[in-house]
Amino acid sequence: MPEIITANHLIGGDVVFLAENGWTPNVDRATVAEDEATRAALEARAAEAEAMNIVVAPYAVEVRREGSRIVPVHYREVMRTRGPTVRPDLGHQASLGAS
């Protein structure tokens, strides 16, 4: 199963995803590891970012591709990409217009 790396930003606490050029709030820009080598490389970068106090508690999340979208498999992780389902005006869904 393809995976991405997620974490929380240290200073702001907001949910972020590891992308080519650093950390992004937009899950669709996350780098997807389709194989073990890519996953290991992503994990190494995440550990480095954690050691540099950029993010907190990074971990891997299983995802699937839906066209240009990247969608986590587990509903908990879907919510983390968006924000509270009861407050669509808050979280990434508000700033990124995620549906």
Could you give the CA distance from residue 79 to residue 15 in angstroms, rounded to a whole number?
10
**58 binding another protein? (CB under 8 A):** no
Contacts of range 73-76, beta carbons closer than 8 Å, 24 or more positions apart: 73/1
Encoded tokens for 97: 């217009």
Binder of another protein out of 56, 60, 71, 96 (CB under 8 A)? 56
- The closest alpha carbon to 6, from 68, 74, 67, belongs to 74
> Which of 5, 6, 80, 98 forms a contact with another protein (CB under 8 A)?
80
Q: Hey, what are 89's tokens?
A: 């005006």
> What is the DSSP secondary structure assignment for residue 28, as one 8-state letter?
G
Complex with another protein: residue 40 or 90, whichever CB lies closer:
90
Closest approach, Cβ 98 to another protein, in A, equals 13
Min CB(37)–another protein separation in Å: 27
Number of residues that bind another protein (CB under 8 A): 25
Would you say 69 or 74 has its CB closer to another protein? 74
